[in-house]
């Protein structure tokens, strides 16, 4: 049996892989409508092979009314015409495989779009019907059911319940939506729902995908009785404590992941499941990657860690130990389509809760150049760690968060649902620049883009950085090549004693020094030959810089 890349003995490729997240709306547009699409991605795949990533992960491109940028799926087994066709998907997969890259797709099991045929059937069929049993419909409270069944809030702001009008025209039941009202939650105790998702997995596995990134993998099962709950604000300090909520991290989800594990394993050991599970502490998250469940989980504790020696060292140690204890690799991630880009986030001087976004007048914004230097230092530290790493499109270009997005251009449902109190996630989703001198910076053949691009992005364009020593793109390319050459993803980490404010580690012959202190470090004190640095070095390793040194 050969795997998707024609490798005779399938390997645990994912244990050390660098997986690049493509956000299809914003990667490359082939038809000039201002929204990225699958042919656009295929056309630009060479650039990712050139970068040196092992796999791509595609955020949703399925049929969807796009109320949550495609995380509101109306048909799990078809491509939305906005993005192309199933044939376009097959062409993309074939091209990626030819270039030696695996393909991971998103799957969104917690909810469907309200346009999904199941939800439309549930609305039409009325209370007590088998169609309604696929979702979480309940009677309201109050004298005539005019109040929601409980006090749960949507992750995007506002109530997590919406009342429907019954087929006879009367005000009726309420349905649960942990996200937007256009994303009704599925009832996962329903065997019809479970069996249908088994088929969806097989549909994409049969088309050759190498795995699934599982959306809201901590959701799906809700506590019996749906008790009231008042959430705590999630920040870095709360990641140590275990909180229990009636809609996240319920024990019942694990049975579903064991079932999915079996579906995927039937296609060979090289197909994977990756959990998007906002669960803390790490010991709890590790339950998602036990040997008979998923293969990897995003390490959001790492993503949320500040640029601080003690915090970083602790989360790195805890991650390696905790995931290692269940036989799973750790993963590392700094940016994705839900958080402020790390070129801006890591140098903020004010807290930035997830989903809050930033604008030009936000408090605590860093100087752009400083933010990028710090981000590059953080990236070089991350890419030296053993385990799998995730990159988010545009970070290799050093893109900062886009701050200047007018309210009427904002599309994240969070913005409307909180009446502008939370800006949402649009700032990290702006179409990326390819060519400095082309309309829309070469994103597509027209000047149109679904979110406005900043006027000063020409220097970030890929063609302005390719082959330029010291550019962000050049640093990422070199890092991925060296990481592979030295086997850092499968290596072993040893901490080395270092001055205050400095992280120093060895990983299989490479010494990594991250200077988080405010002071310069003489390079002569570090020994070894410089393999790669996050910024040009003279005699010292300056603050906010990381260097890789050869170390016998």
- Tell me the closest approach of the beta carbon of residue 420 to ligand NOJ, in angstroms: 18
179 touches ligand NOJ by CB under 6 A: yes
- Tell me the closest approach of the beta carbon of residue 336 to ligand NOJ, in angstroms: 7
Is residue 406 within 8 A of residue 2, CB to CB? The reply is: no
Q: Which residues of 294-320 are buried (b: 16+ CB within 10 A; e: fewer)?
A: bbbbbbbbbbbbebebebbeebbebbb
- Tell me the closest approach of the beta carbon of residue 179 to ligand NOJ, in angstroms: 5
Q: Which is nearer to ligand NOJ, 156 or 267 (CB)?
A: 156
Question: Distance between alpha carbon 271 and the CA centroid of its chain, in Å?
Answer: 19
Instruction: Compose the 283-322 pattern: x for residues touching ligand NOJ by CB under 6 A, - for all others.
Output: ----------------------------------------
- Interface residue with ligand NOJ among 61, 62, 71, 390 (CB under 6 A) is 71
Catalytically annotated residue among 215, 270, 287, 463: 215
Residues 335-354 within binding reach of ligand NOJ (CB under 6 A): 337-338
- Tell me the closest approach of the beta carbon of residue 335 to ligand NOJ, in angstroms: 12
d(CA 341, CA 338): 9
Q: Which is nearer to ligand NOJ, 204 or 267 (CB)?
A: 204
Q: How many residues does the chain have?
A: 552
d(CA 451, CA 441): 13
- Tell me the closest approach of the beta carbon of residue 409 to ligand NOJ, in angstroms: 18
Residues 215-254 within binding reach of ligand NOJ (CB under 6 A): 215-216
Closest residue to ligand NOJ, based on beta-carbon distance: 71
Catalytic site residue 191? no
d(CA 28, CA 90): 17
Question: Which DSSP string do the residues of 258-277 spell out, in sequence order?
Answer: HHHHHHHHTT-TT-EEEE--
Alpha-helical (H) ranges within 99-157 are 117-125
For 108, 144, 527, the CA distances from 201, given in Å and listed in that order, are: 11, 42, 51
Cα 365-369-370 angle, rounded to 5 deg: 65
204 touches ligand NOJ by CB under 6 A: no
- Tell me the closest approach of the beta carbon of residue 177 to ligand NOJ, in angstroms: 10
Longest Cα–Cα distance of the chain, Å, equals 81
Is residue 332 helix, strand or coil? strand
- Tell me the closest approach of the beta carbon of residue 70 to ligand NOJ, in angstroms: 9
Q: Which is nearer to ligand NOJ, 216 or 432 (CB)?
A: 216
Tokens of 540: 């010292």
212 touches ligand NOJ by CB under 6 A: no
Tokens of 437: 């001198």
Burial zone of 97 (CB within 10 Å; 0-12 exposed, 13-18 middle, 19+ buried): middle
Q: Which is nearer to ligand NOJ, 356 or 370 (CB)?
A: 356
Tokens of 451: 């979110």
Residue keyed to tokens 């010494």: 511
d(CA 422, CA 450): 20
Of 417, 472, 461, 453, nearest to 436 by C-alpha is 461
Instruction: Compose the 105-144 pattern: x for residues touching ligand NOJ by CB under 6 A, - for all others.
Output: ---x------------------------------------
Catalytic site residue 412? no
User: What's the count of helices (H) and strands (E) in the chain, helices before strands?
Assistant: 13, 20
68 touches ligand NOJ by CB under 6 A: yes
Q: Which is nearer to ligand NOJ, 322 or 411 (CB)?
A: 411
- Tell me the closest approach of the beta carbon of residue 128 to ligand NOJ, in angstroms: 28
Q: Which is nearer to ligand NOJ, 262 or 421 (CB)?
A: 421
Q: Which is nearer to ligand NOJ, 60 or 398 (CB)?
A: 60
Catalytically annotated residue among 68, 276, 318, 463: 276
Q: How many residues lie near ligand NOJ (CB under 6 A)?
A: 9
23 touches ligand NOJ by CB under 6 A: no
Beta strand pairing status for 55-58 and 18-22? Answer: parallel
Q: Which residues are catalytic?
A: 215, 276
Which residues would be at the binding site for ligand NOJ (CB under 6 A)?
68, 71, 108, 179, 215-216, 276, 337-338
């Amino acid at each position: 049996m050969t795997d998707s890349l024609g490798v005779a003995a399938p390997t645990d490729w994912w244990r050390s892989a660098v997986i690049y997240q493509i956000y299809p709306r914003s990667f490359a547009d082939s038809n000039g409508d201002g929204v990225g699409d699958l042919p656009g991605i295929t056309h630009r795949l060479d650039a990712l092979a050139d970068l040196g990533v092992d796999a791509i992960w595609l955020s949703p491109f399925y049929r969807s009314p796009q109320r949550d940028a495609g995380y509101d799926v109306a048909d799990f087994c078809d491509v939305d015409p906005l993005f192309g066709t199933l044939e376009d998907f097959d062409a993309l997969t074939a091209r990626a495989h030819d270039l030696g890259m695996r393909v991971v797709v998103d799957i969104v099991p917690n909810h469907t779009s309200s346009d999904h045929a199941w939800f439309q059937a549930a609305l039409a069929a009325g209370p007590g019907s088998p169609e309604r049993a696929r979702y979480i419909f309940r009677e309201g409270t109050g004298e005539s059911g005019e109040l929601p069944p409980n006090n749960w809030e949507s992750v995007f702001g506002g109530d997590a319940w919406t009342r429907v009008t019954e087929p006879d025209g009367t005000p009726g039941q309420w349905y649960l939506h942990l996200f937007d009202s256009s994303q009704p939650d599925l009832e996962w105790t329903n065997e019809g729902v479970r069996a249908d998702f088994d088929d969806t997995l097989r549909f994409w596995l049969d088309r050759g995908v190498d795995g699934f990134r599982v959306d809201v993998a901590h959701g799906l099962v809700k506590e019996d009785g749906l008790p009231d709950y008042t959430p705590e604000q999630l920040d870095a300090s709360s990641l140590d404590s275990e909180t229990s909520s009636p809609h996240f991290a319920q024990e019942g989800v694990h049975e579903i992941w064991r079932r999915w594990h079996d579906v995927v394993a039937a296609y060979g050991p090289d197909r994977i499941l990756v959990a998007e599970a906002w669960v803390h502490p790490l010991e709890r998250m590790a339950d998602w990657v036990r040997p008979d469940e998923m293969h990897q989980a995003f390490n959001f504790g790492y993503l949320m860690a500040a640029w601080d020696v003690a915090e970083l060292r602790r989360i790195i140690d805890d991650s390696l130990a905790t995931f290692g204890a269940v036989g799973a690799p750790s993963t590392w991630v700094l940016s994705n389509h839900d958080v402020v880009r790390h070129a801006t986030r890591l140098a903020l001087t004010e807290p930035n809760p997830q989903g809050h976004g930033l604008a030009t007048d936000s408090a605590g914004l860093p100087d752009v150049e400083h933010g990028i230097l710090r981000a590059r230092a953080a990236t070089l530290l991350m890419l030296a760690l053993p385990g799998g790493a995730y990159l988010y499109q545009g970070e290799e270009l050093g893109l900062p968060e886009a701050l200047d997005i007018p309210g009427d251009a904002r599309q994240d449902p969070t913005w409307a649902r909180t009446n502008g109190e939370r800006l949402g996630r649009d700032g990290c989703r702006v179409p990326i620049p390819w060519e400095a001198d082309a309309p829309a910076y070469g994103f597509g053949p027209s000047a149109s883009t679904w979110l406005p691009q900043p006027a000063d992005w020409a220097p970030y364009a890929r063609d302005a950085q390719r082959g330029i020593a010291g550019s962000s793109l050049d640093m990422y390319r070199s890092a991925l090549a060296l990481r592979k050459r030295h086997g850092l993803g499968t290596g072993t980490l040893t901490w080395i004693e270092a001055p205050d404010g400095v992280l120093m580690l060895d990983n299989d012959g490479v010494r990594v020094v991250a200077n988080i202190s405010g002071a310069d470090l003489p390079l002569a004190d570090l020994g070894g030959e410089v393999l790669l640095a996050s910024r040009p070095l003279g005699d010292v390793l300056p603050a906010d810089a990381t260097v890789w040194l050869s170390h016998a």
